[in-house]
Structure 1
């Protein structure tokens, strides 16, 4: 399929992007997410972890591309936009100056496609440094007061329904995958399932972001073009020549009893099934980054990452960039990793198409941001949901599990249920549920 831009910003020539970044001194106790004003789900952007990151609103420019060349189309568009931009940057940090937020479909043939959005306003924080960037396509930047916002609105009554497959049907798909793996057709496949959500009130992205940040502070809380979630997995970060990636594969559900959870963490670290799944994922990331990096550091053993609802085997891979590859191009080289697809990639991807009976959309695809220098952060869109563009009372939630020869279908259903909890709770919670410290 040919990759073609489809946004209005590409149907006619536009004036060069004008971007201005200045330092900001917010009041004590201000949070990035609290600055977001009420706007449409598609025009609210976020990439926040432990209070640091970027939020944005409005839409100065955007582009959507489809097909196998969608990454390259976005890369070319951003190179042209950022390269011709008129920039005044008084802060000069990664994420200052013009920034584009992106969400990219898992599959090349997905109707969701891949989108980059340049917000009208971006507010950023890194430690005690704050800034605001305004963009426009004329000489006058938009007027903005980042200290003014309105309260997020709860979605009201929420109903959940099975998506493409019921839990029992999905367990059957897992069983079939295990049969194929045991027969030697492949080593691992990641199968996902979906839930359909309907809400009484229109879904306010800020409500979801706030609840996710309160409960899952160690994740990256994101929103781009109606895709919202809290991912624990950093696909790739590029910052001043250093490339890092956090790989998660191998999961166990927490019980809420700290002593029991420590025992479960120890069992996870010894589990041959989970270690095998994790090894495939780490190997796929290291092999994809190797052509672009030197001095690669790939730890021999994973550590256990504790989140509120689950624990994961995790490995941080790092390297020194040896070429000018951008963060978006690095994300393209890594997608899809074994953590969201399987091994071998082509066989696993074919089995996903056969057994899932759904379009993943932008679930399990790269989501994040890129600046004019090519630096940026791209996570994998996990623990997430997509607000329907045509109906902001509807949302699809997604969760997936890595399937290997030792997988048990009923256990995988339970794991997928655990991975759906963050978004389900964010939709229905009325009070914060702080994240436990492991």
Structure 2
């Protein structure tokens, strides 16, 4: 069966919020500073699992493109056929998904567009707004704070004896409401509170990530690496002093260097030239500050390697796994004590040319009916302190936690 995809220009008020157009019918979002992509409905989707989850999804997408007729009058990255994906962190357990929405609305600066699949007639207008979550309560997930600190201490001991250099350990928090939670409610809060982050939702995996795993646009590849974190106090003068402390912290600089090196090494085989800054900058977010580095390159194999394949090559980076990667991911499986599922896996979108943006599913949660499972992770190195790491994880829960409980 041949699919027909049409993209037309859209006259959209500059003040209109893309999220306001989205109904509750399987919404997808990828938003930053008011621009990006939103969609709803399902024209086609595939679920994949295990070590071949990326390759199986890429094959499905290629086959779908081959039997689709596209009429695109805009011809920009993100127009025409666009899929949204969310992938499991590890080979097992957890499923991954790549979906072609029935309707996509996109905006980039002054340009806006509408993409439809099949015989769908859509005039984007504000949808029925979501209701606020009702009576949300929070409880520890797989491990409580004390148990998780003991896991961190175990990891520090292994690092100290030379088993590995760094491991990222995560924990979860379970929110329960008395009625099903409409994901559009927390998404709206996240776009308002964290405009510098990429607010995403694919198949119930949602959040506001500060970390761009990889963007591919017309041959140029960029990746934003975050590693090394300090909690904000809310006092601007104190926070500036903390930012300076972070920028000089040997523990955090070491953790950051591992992450940058892992990204540069993974991208290098695909790039004819690369730019890797010598020193990181401090990224200021409302709840935390991070050491950040933007790695850029020119892809020499753009015709054969899509943004999704680049994401697979980069995943898991040291920022979410550790160093050496294989040893760190084995240790995560052994001691973390919970299933990550799609937490810290690639999440984003890709068009038919292979251009796209894939973030890391951080500051995130998985929603299922009236239950929302929040995630947070911390990079553990030789001089990590379990209590400090617990406090950092609590700071990283704040974006989604607040989005579920504030008006």
Q: Do they fold alike, i.e. is TM over 0.5?
A: yes
Look up the SS of the partner of 2:85 in the other structure: strand
Equivalence map 1:306-385=2 (5 Å)? 306-323=284-301, 324=303, 325-385=305-365
Task: Give, in angstroms, the shift of residue 28 of structure 1.
Answer: 4.4
Aligned to 1:395: 372
Structure 2, unmatched stretches of 5+, are: none
CA distance in 2, matches of 1:16, 1:419: 45
Aligned to 1:103: 86
Out of 104, 111, 114, which is 1:132 matched to?
A: 114
Equivalence map 1:95-174=2 (5 Å)? 95-110=78-93, 112-136=94-118, 141-174=119-152
Matched, 1:256 2:239: no
Aligned to 2:23: 37
CA distance in 2, matches of 1:377, 1:85: 22
Alignment deviations for residues 145-195 of structure 1 (CA, whole Å, 9 cap, x no partner): 211311121011101000000011000000000000000000000000001
Q: TM-score, normalised by structure 2?
A: 0.99
Task: Give, in angstroms, the shift of residue 361 of structure 1.
Answer: 0.6
Structure 1's consecutive aligned runs of 4 or more residues displaced over 4 angstroms after TM superposition are none
Matched, 1:199 2:177: yes
CA distance in 2, matches of 1:384, 1:198: 16
Matched, 1:24 2:6: no
Task: Give, in angstroms, the shift of residue 16 of structure 1.
Answer: 2.1
CA distance in 1, matches of 2:48, 2:75: 30
Aligned residues of 1:288 and 1:334 also touching (Cα < 8 A): yes
Structure 1, unmatched stretches of 5+, are: 1-14, 431-438
Aligned to 2:212: 234
Aligned to 2:58: 75
Task: Give, in angstroms, the shift of residue 201 of structure 1.
Answer: 2.3
Task: Give, in angstroms, the shift of residue 395 of structure 1.
Answer: 1.2
Look up the SS of the partner of 1:20 in the other structure: strand
Aligned to 1:3: none
CA distance in 2, matches of 1:16, 1:69: 26
Root mean square deviation, CA, Å:
0.8
CA distance in 2, matches of 1:188, 1:28: 45
Q: How many residues are paired up?
A: 405
